[in-house]
């Protein structure tokens, strides 16, 4: 663990430093820091307007067409043809300050947000044996014991459950190489999964070549009561997941809009198709809480006296660490396509609490209550694909399909120990895959 902590500490220190410097740049951007920008951002030199010329909306001085009717009302000169927000300061509708002395600035809208409803499906646990049968088959005069499984932890089927994905970001400043710097917070979660499965014990079967014992059996020794030779085994599982991120994002801005003349003589503002990559680095915290319960009911054949057993396991995973990520967007006039990915190294403070209660008049009552904790390195990968459609200049509809993989975590069903004695144990070598669709809207202001 000490060998893992060293590179993790360096990574965390580097990211902390970057995030501490970011607000300083943001503050200087608001005041106007003395960093020279490229000629792209310089205030154009004043041009003398000659007779028959006019300054056009893109800032250039050009001759006025002989047929001035195509211009129409100057206030209606440009028709917004559904273009995306331009990176060119000449077309910003707010915060379009230009500083001739080369100071940084932040054109366009300052805030943005994404709100999406999610439907995520959780992966089933590993194939931990819960119930099996005890059979004997005679083959060529040799008795062969058989133990077919009838119920495992993988029998738990988790469907898609609703949740929320929320991102709120603040554009900080635009640097000298035409990139937007932003600080953003993302939440993903509120998904809660709950499911169950059961198995019924079969009757006894006895023939000259086959024998089947009545009831359901387990990996517990036959001397342990409450679970073996049971009539019914039922398993339940409920869990929840939440994720919190704080990221610093650097994104290349799309190419400036362009002015185009239509066949009918009107002029419109068009968005220029662009490939827009971005890179992020930040911190992330995730929690995955899992609760498993196993109930057993049966009766003693000779007396008809009932017996029961209950096994409960609660596991908690608290992950915290650093992540890096990137995405790329193909931006068109009114729609875009996007692919993104993130990966991070985390420390997982995992806990588990197991409790067994047995009430069996024949084999004796018993109980067990153990707890354990462990700290292990873990990692999380996050991949998504989607797109947007522009509805308004400040609003877009967004749809995506997302995958999230958690490794080195404690899954409740995988903590089962088929003994009433011995030291407690926690297994934090499990994994979970969450996947599903997200639908919502992007806003900027």
Q: Which of 67-76, 349-358, 414-423, 431-440 has the lowest mean pLDDT?
A: 67-76
Q: What is the pLDDT of residue 433?
A: 93
Report the C-alpha gap between 317 and 32 in whole angstroms.
Answer: 45
Q: Sheet containing 258-261: which strands, arranged edge to edge? A: 79-80, 267-270, 258-261
Mean pLDDT confidence for 263-286: 84
User: pLDDT band at 301, cuts 50/70/90?
Assistant: confident
Interval 152-202: pLDDT, tens: 998 898 888 999 999 999 999 888 888 889 999 999 999 999 999 999 989
DSSP 96-147: ----TT---B--S-SEEEEEEEEEEEEPP----EEEE--EEEEETTEEEEE-
Query: pTM, whole model, 2 decimals?
Result: 0.70
Show contacts of 363-367: CB within 8 Å, 24+ apart. 363/223, 363/224, 363/225, 363/226, 363/307, 364/225, 365/225, 366/224, 366/225, 366/226, 366/420
Position 208 confidence tier, pLDDT thresholds 50, 70, 90: confident
Which residue, 23, 46, 38, is CA-closest to 104?
38
What's the full length of the chain, in residues? 445
Q: Give 282's pLDDT tier (boundaries 50, 70, 90).
A: very high
Confidence of residue 305 (pLDDT cuts 50, 70, 90): confident
How does the average pLDDT of the chain come out, rounded?
Answer: 79
Does the pLDDT at position 4 exceed 50?
A: no
- What was the pLDDT predicted at 12? 46
List of residues 6+ apart from 139 with CB closer than 8 A: none
Q: Express each pLDDT in 11-49 by its tens digit.
A: 445 554 544 444 444 444 333 333 333 333 334 445 566
Task: Determine the pLDDT at residue 99.
Answer: 38
Q: Domains of the chain: which residue ranges?
A: 2-444
Q: What is the tens place of the pLDDT at every residue in 141-160?
A: 888 888 989 899 988 988 88
């Amino acid at each position: 663990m000490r060998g893992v902590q060293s590179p993790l500490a360096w990574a965390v220190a580097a990211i902390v430093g970057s995030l501490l410097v970011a607000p300083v740049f943001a503050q200087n951007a608001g005041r106007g820091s003395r960093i020279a920008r490229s000629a792209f951002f310089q205030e154009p030199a004043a041009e003398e307007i000659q007779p028959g010329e006019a300054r056009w909306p893109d800032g250039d001085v050009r001759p006025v067409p002989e047929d001035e009717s195509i211009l129409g009302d100057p206030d209606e000169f440009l028709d917004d043809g559904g273009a995306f927000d331009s990176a060119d300061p000449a077309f910003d509708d707010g915060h379009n300050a230009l500083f001739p002395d080369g100071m940084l600035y932040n054109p366009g809208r300052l805030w943005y947000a994404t709100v999406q409803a999610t439907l995520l499906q959780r992966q089933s646990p590993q194939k931990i044996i819960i119930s099996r049968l005890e059979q004997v088959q005679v083959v060529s005069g040799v008795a062969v014991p058989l133990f077919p499984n009838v119920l495992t932890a993988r029998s738990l089927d988790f469907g898609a459950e609703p949740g929320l994905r929320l991102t709120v970001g603040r554009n900080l400043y635009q640097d000298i190489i035409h990139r937007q710097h932003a600080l953003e917070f993302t939440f993903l979660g509120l998904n809660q999964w709950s499911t169950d499965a059961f198995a019924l014990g079969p009757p006894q079967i006895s023939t000259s070549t086959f024998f089947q014992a009545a009831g359901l059996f387990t990996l517990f020794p036959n001397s342990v009561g409450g679970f073996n030779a049971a009539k019914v085994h039922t398993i339940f599982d409920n869990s929840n997941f939440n994720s919190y991120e704080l990221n610093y994002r650097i994104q290349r801005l799309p190419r400036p809009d362009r002015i185009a003349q239509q066949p009918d003589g009107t002029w419109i503002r068009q968005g220029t198709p662009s490939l827009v990559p971005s890179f992020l680095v930040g911190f992330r915290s995730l929690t995955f809480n899992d609760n498993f319960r196993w109930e057993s009911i049966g009766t003693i054949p000779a007396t008809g006296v009932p017996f029961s057993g209950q096994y409960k396991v609660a596991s908690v995973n608290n992950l915290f660490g650093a992540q890096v990520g990137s995405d790329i967007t193909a931006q068109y006039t009114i729609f875009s396509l996007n692919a993104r990915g993130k990966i991070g190294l985390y420390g997982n403070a995992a806990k588990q609490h197991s409790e067994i209660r047995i009430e069996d008049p024949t084999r004796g009552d018993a109980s067990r209550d153990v707890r354990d904790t462990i700290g292990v390195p873990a990692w999380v990968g996050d991949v998504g694909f989607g797109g947007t459609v522009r509805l308004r200049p400040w609003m877009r509809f967004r749809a995506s399909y997302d995958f999230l993989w958690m490794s080195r975590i404690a899954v409740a069903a995988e903590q089962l120990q088929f003994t009433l004695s011995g030291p407690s144990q926690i297994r934090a070598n499990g994994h979970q895959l969450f996947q599903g669709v997200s639908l919502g809207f992007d806003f900027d202001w």
